[in-house]
Structure formats: structure tokens, C-alpha cells
């Protein structure tokens, strides 16, 4: 055997030896997904909670991989990884325990409480992700980097081009000012609020209908309602006025206000989050920094249609407010405005999980979607306004969207707090968990079976009035607002006006076949 052969053999032996050493590690790859099952998001959440309970301190968080529909569990050792894989989840052996990550957030709170910063636990990277906005410069940046530099491997820092701020808006900024959203329901509601409010006698109807029809019926309804107000002079106007009174029965009933609809108070415009009930009494949740702005809230900018009074408002630390409807007979629907003429029913509340796909509805930018990116987030808005326990997302939002609903299909998830960026540039947005707000206030999502039905009927009435807006406005705008629309459906709405919130009859009366069908579909 020559030297060349020996050299080759030696290299081969060395390679085999290395393979023998590496092979067990390869088989125990913590990111291995072989044999992993696919789950729906709700099923993944259910399994994750069960596994997390079983793992105890050996678990280090989890997330849902939506692209592959897999549950990823972070674990601290191989034995835990094997038990996770046996349940069909992906096991990822990580360096940082949950206790270490939580300790890092506490260190940040004590040593790096700098305005313009935010942080959250990110199970995808197994680190605490710190974000500094564009205002964090000079001494503030030095303070932040000094604190984070001592936690290398546990904390990572990134910059945001935007500026962290609460997303409440001034009254001058109307829903739908956001350009491309001009055709969505937010704009319709705004235009309806403006047009209908200016429409005099029929405008009262319009205002009731706007609070109800404009918001529930969205763009077409609002404009149509406004149109019905404009066109509905004389007999048609009176009929529309009746319908308005119905929707405005309405006035205290918020005419069927949905999650995401505009609310006004104390010079601010915010968005309604979710309708709730407390011991059977109707109310709604919105942002706490909105609740601090005003004790009373209206569905119109002028304040003529007051809908509720703040019962509890928490900000900072948390960011939620409970507003109780002034009319205790209000039957508000458990729905979110999708800003396209339809609504999403909300029947439950769930805790957020990283990777959860969500949508947000707000009165400025309408509906936007995205993903939960972090939990237990802290954001420092400046001036001592520091909020903890938030949900971090990549969903966009803008001033006026504060308080608006974040949801996943039929589940309530969060209330819009604030963030950086906008719906043109993107950015980070933070949400108050709905589950925490419900627990603190004793509220429940929806108004119970009867209330939900009634609410849907009022939403029927709202949608019906919206439908009436469509019917009245559609036919009204189409047929001069006096013929079939004004005296037909809207007049029939006048007959059912006092009972419009009362369910199928009012709803059907308010909107004719459209409202009847809507009432049926929602009930």
C-alpha cells in the first residue's frame, strides 16, 4: 500500500469518525419536524396549553407555525423534546428558559425604562425582542444599549423608523380620511355622520341611522342614509325620520354600533372594541387611554347621539375601558364591522399566541390583518405612560383606531392600544388582551342569547336600517327617496320605528326583505 492510498484511507477514517460523532446529534436535531402533525390554530392552542402544563419549567414557550400548520414547543432538554414529538408537535431545544426571559424583561423595566422603547418575549427566537423607535437617540440610546449589552444571548435590539404613540385621534380627523379606505365602511360612517348630521330633520333620522345604519350598513348604508336624508324631504323625510328614530331607538342603543365603529368624546375620536354585558346590562370595551379622555361617548362628532358613560378606565399599566350604554334596554350585537357591508359575529374571547393570524377593525383604517409576534409586551409611550402585558403584532393602525377590535375569526383577542408606523409604511402595533379586560371588569362577550338575538335584530335593525339605508338609500337614491324607499320601506320602518330594536319585526320593517334576510341570517 503506497503513501497515497494510506492518505486516502486516513481521510476516510477521519470522515467516518466525524460522522459517527455527528450522527447522534443530527438524529436529535431540536428543529426536526419529521413525524410532526398539522393542526388548526385552535387545536394547536389546546395542545400547547396541555403540553406546557406537563412540561412545567422544562418548557420555554411555544408558537404556531401558520405556514406549515405546525405547533412548535420550546423545551430545555432532549427528554422533554421526545415527549413533545410523541404528541405530534415540533420540539425545539432552546438555550433560554422562560424564567430567564421573564427576568430579562424585569431588568429592562428597572434599568432601561426609556420613552420610545418596547419589548416582548419572542418564542420564535427564544429571546426578548427590544424595539427602539426613532426618538431613542443620545443618552436614551446609551442607557438602552448599556442594559441590553449585559444580557447578550437573551435580548436582541432593533430599530423602528416610526414613533411609538397611542392611536387615539382628534375629532377633526374623520373616519375614512385614509385615502384608499374611502370606499370602506369607516368612510361611509364618517360621511354619513357628516351628511346625515347636516341634513336637518331627516338628518336626525340619518344620525340615528348613521349611528345604526351608517356603521352597521357601512359605506353604502351611510351614504345612502345620508342620501335618504337629503332626498327624504317632505313625506319621505318624515318616513326616513321615523326610520332614524327607530335606528335611534337606536340613539342610546347606538343604532347597532359594532366593534371598529367610531366613538367620540372629549375632543377625541376612538373606536369601539367589543360589545359586552355586565350582570345583564349592555356595554362595550375600548382603550383605557380613550376612557381617560372623556366620561361620556357618542356615536357622532357633534355629541348629539350620546351612547354611553365610562364605568371603569385603566391606563397606564393596562389599557382598557368599560363603557356602559346609557339606555339599559340597548341590545347591542356581538359583532365587528368588517367595513364592507358585513360583520363578523364574535362569540368568545381567547388568549393570543405567537403566530396567530388576526384582523383589526378601526374607524380610521378599516380592516387590516397580520400576525401576533410577541407576548407580555411592555411599551413606553413617554410622559410616564408605560403599559405592560400587551400583545405585539405586525398589524398596522393609525390615530383614531385606538380601542378597535382585534379578532381571530369569531374570537375576540385584543383592543388596539398604540404602536409605530402607519398603514402605508407598516410598523408594530400593541393590543390590550381582551381576556384580561373581561376578567378585571366582570364583563362577558355578547349579551347572552336573547341579547345577541336582539342585538342582531338591532344589528338587524342597524343592518336593516343599513339595509334600509341600502333599501331606502338605494331605492331612495335611485328612486328619488320618496317613492318606495321613503314611504315604502322607510315608512314601514316608521311603523316599526319604535320597535326597530325589537328584533325581526323591526328589522324586517326597517329594511324590508333585506333586513328580514339579515335578521334571519344573524339569528
Among all residues, which ones are annotated catalytic?
Answer: 289, 319, 402
Please give the Cα distance from 338 to 360 (Å, whole number).
Answer: 9
Bridge partners, 431 (sequence order)? 391, 416
Cα radius of gyration rounded to whole Å, the chain: 27
Q: Where are the beta strands (DSSP E) in 218-319?
A: 262-265, 268-271, 274-278, 281-286, 296-298, 306-314
Please give the Cα distance from 371 to 393 (Å, whole number).
Answer: 6
Please give the Cα distance from 396 to 82 (Å, whole number).
Answer: 39
Q: Which residue has the cell 320602518?
A: 493
Bridge partners, 284 (sequence order)? 275, 323
Q: CB–CB of 226/209 below 8 Å?
A: no
Distances (CA, A) of 428 to 31, 91, 150, 372, 478: 28, 28, 25, 10, 44
Q: Which residue has the cell 371588569?
A: 441
Please give the Cα distance from 207 to 192 (Å, whole number).
Answer: 8
Please give the Cα distance from 497 to 404 (Å, whole number).
Answer: 29
Burial class (CB in 10 A: 0-12, 13-18, 19+), 266: middle
Write out the three cell numbers for 56: 412545567
Please give the Cα distance from 417 to 435 (Å, whole number).
Answer: 15
Closest C-alpha to 190, from 168, 169, 227, 219: 219
Q: Where are the beta strands (DSSP E) in 272-426?
A: 274-278, 281-286, 296-298, 306-314, 320-325, 335-337, 343-345, 348-349, 357-362, 366-380, 386-393, 405-408, 411-419
Write out the three cell numbers for 255: 343604532
Please give the Cα distance from 247 to 254 (Å, whole number).
Answer: 8
Write out the three cell numbers for 207: 344620525
Bridge partners, 392 (sequence order)? 374, 430
Instruction: For residue 34, give the DSSP letter.
Output: T
Other CB atoms within a 10 A radius of the CB of residue 458 amount to: 37
Amino acid at each position: 500500500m503506497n503513501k497515497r492510498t494510506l492518505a486516502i484511507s486516513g481521510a476516510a477514517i477521519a470522515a467516518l469518525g466525524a460522522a459517527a460523532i455527528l450522527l447522534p446529534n443530527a438524529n436529535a436535531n431540536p428543529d426536526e419536524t419529521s413525524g410532526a402533525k398539522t393542526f388548526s390554530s385552535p387545536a394547536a392552542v389546546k395542545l400547547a396549553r396541555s403540553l406546557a402544563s406537563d412540561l412545567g419549567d422544562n418548557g420555554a414557550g411555544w408558537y404556531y407555525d401558520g405556514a406549515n400548520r405546525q405547533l412548535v414547543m420550546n423545551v430545555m432538554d432532549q427528554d422533554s423534546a421526545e415527549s413533545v414529538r410523541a404528541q405530534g408537535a415540533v420540539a425545539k431545544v432552546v438555550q433560554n428558559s422562560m424564567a430567564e426571559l421573564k427576568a430579562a424583561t424585569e431588568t429592562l423595566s428597572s434599568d432601561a425604562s426609556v420613552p420610545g422603547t418596547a419589548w416582548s418575549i419572542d418564542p420564535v427566537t427564544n429571546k426578548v425582542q427590544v424595539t427602539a423607535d426613532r426618538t431613542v437617540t443620545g443618552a436614551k440610546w446609551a442607557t438602552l444599549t448599556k442594559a441590553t449589552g449585559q444580557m447578550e444571548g437573551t435580548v436582541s435590539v432593533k430599530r423602528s423608523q416610526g414613533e411609538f404613540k397611542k392611536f387615539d385621534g382628534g375629532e377633526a380627523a374623520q373616519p375614512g380620511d385614509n385615502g384608499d379606505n374611502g370606499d370602506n365602511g369607516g368612510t361611509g360612517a364618517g360621511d354619513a355622520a357628516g351628511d346625515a348630521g347636516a341634513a336637518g330633520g331627516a338628518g336626525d333620522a340619518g344620525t340615528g341611522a348613521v349611528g345604526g345604519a351608517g356603521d352597521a350598513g357601512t359605506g353604502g348604508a351611510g351614504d345612502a342614509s345620508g342620501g335618504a336624508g337629503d332626498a327624504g324631504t317632505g313625506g319621505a323625510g318624515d318616513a326616513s325620520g321615523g326610520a332614524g328614530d327607530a335606528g335611534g331607538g337606536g340613539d342610546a342603543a347606538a343604532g347597532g354600533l359594532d366593534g371598529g365603529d367610531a366613538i367620540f368624546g372629549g375632543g377625541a375620536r376612538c373606536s369601539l372594541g367589543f360589545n359586552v354585558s355586565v350582570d345583564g346590562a349592555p356595554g362595550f370595551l375600548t382603550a383605557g387611554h380613550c376612557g381617560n379622555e372623556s366620561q361620556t361617548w357618542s356615536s357622532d362628532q357633534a355629541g348629539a347621539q350620546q351612547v354611553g358613560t365610562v364605568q371603569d378606565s385603566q391606563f397606564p399599566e393596562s389599557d382598557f375601558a368599560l363603557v356602559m350604554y346609557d339606555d339599559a334596554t340597548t341590545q347591542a350585537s356581538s359583532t365587528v364591522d368588517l367595513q364592507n357591508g358585513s360583520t363578523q359575529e364574535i362569540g368568545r374571547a381567547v388568549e393570543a399566541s405567537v403566530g396567530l393570524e388576526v384582523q383589526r377593525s378601526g374607524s380610521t383604517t378599516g380592516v387590516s390583518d397580520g400576525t401576533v409576534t410577541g407576548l407580555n409586551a411592555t411599551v413606553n409611550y413617554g410622559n410616564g405612560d408605560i403599559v405592560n402585558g400587551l400583545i405585539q403584532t405586525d398589524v398596522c393602525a393609525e390615530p383614531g383606531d385606538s380601542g378597535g377590535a382585534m379578532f381571530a375569526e369569531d374570537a375576540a383577542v385584543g383592543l388596539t392600544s398604540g404602536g409605530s408606523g402607519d398603514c402605508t409604511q407598516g410598523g408594530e402595533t400593541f393590543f390590550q388582551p381582551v381576556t384580561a379586560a373581561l376578567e378585571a371588569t366582570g364583563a362577558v362577550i355578547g349579551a347572552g342569547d336573547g341579547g345577541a338575538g336582539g342585538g342582531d335584530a338591532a344589528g338587524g335593525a342597524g343592518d336593516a336600517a343599513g339595509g334600509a339605508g341600502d333599501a331606502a338609500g338605494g331605492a331612495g337614491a335611485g328612486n328619488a327617496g320618496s317613492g318606495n324607499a321613503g314611504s315604502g320601506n322607510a315608512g314601514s320602518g316608521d311603523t316599526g320605528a319604535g320597535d326597530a330594536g325589537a328584533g325581526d319585526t323591526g328589522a324586517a320593517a326597517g329594511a324590508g326583505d333585506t333586513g328580514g334576510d339579515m335578521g334571519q341570517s344573524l339569528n
